[in-house]
């Protein structure tokens, strides 16, 4: 069995001479430079909405304030 050449970073086989095309973080379409790492304003806005709604969070116990810190918000 012949070994398969893989792209850097553990990706799948890459055709020789062709650069890897980055994919949109939301829908996997090719990235457009103006909206990088997304393909369009729509995908960028969807991602922003998820951040603002609090859908992206690291699970765990809430951080507590230390003695000298205050929550002045």
Query: Could you give the CA distance from residue 13 to residue 19 in angstroms, rounded to a whole number?
Result: 12
CB-based contact 37:30 (threshold 8 Å): no
**Most confidently modeled range among 3-7, 19-23, 41-45:** 41-45
pLDDT at 69 > cutoff 80:
no
Rounded to the nearest integer, the mean pLDDT of the chain is 80
How far is CA 53 from each of CA 32, 34, 43, 48, 56, rounded to the nearest angstrom?
A: 25, 24, 15, 9, 8
What are the pLDDT digits (tens) for 16-40?
778 888 999 999 999 999 999 999 9
Please report whether residue 11 resides in a domain.
Answer: no
Query: Could you give the CA distance from residue 73 to residue 39 in angstroms, rounded to a whole number?
Result: 36
Please report whether residue 29 resides in a domain.
Answer: yes
Structural domain boundaries enclosing 46: 20-52
Please report whether residue 32 resides in a domain.
Answer: yes
Please report whether residue 30 resides in a domain.
Answer: yes
Per-residue pLDDT band for 61 (boundaries 50, 70, 90) equals confident
Per-residue pLDDT band for 52 (boundaries 50, 70, 90) equals very high
């Amino acid at each position: 069995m012949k070994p398969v050449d893989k792209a850097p970073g553990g990706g799948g086989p890459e055709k020789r001479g062709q650069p890897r095309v980055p994919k949109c973080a939301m829908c996997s379409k090719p990235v457009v430079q103006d909206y990088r790492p997304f393909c369009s304003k729509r995908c960028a806005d969807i991602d922003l909405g998820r951040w603002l709604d609090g859908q992206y969070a690291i699970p765990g116990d809430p951080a507590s304030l230390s003695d000298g810190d205050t929550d002045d918000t």
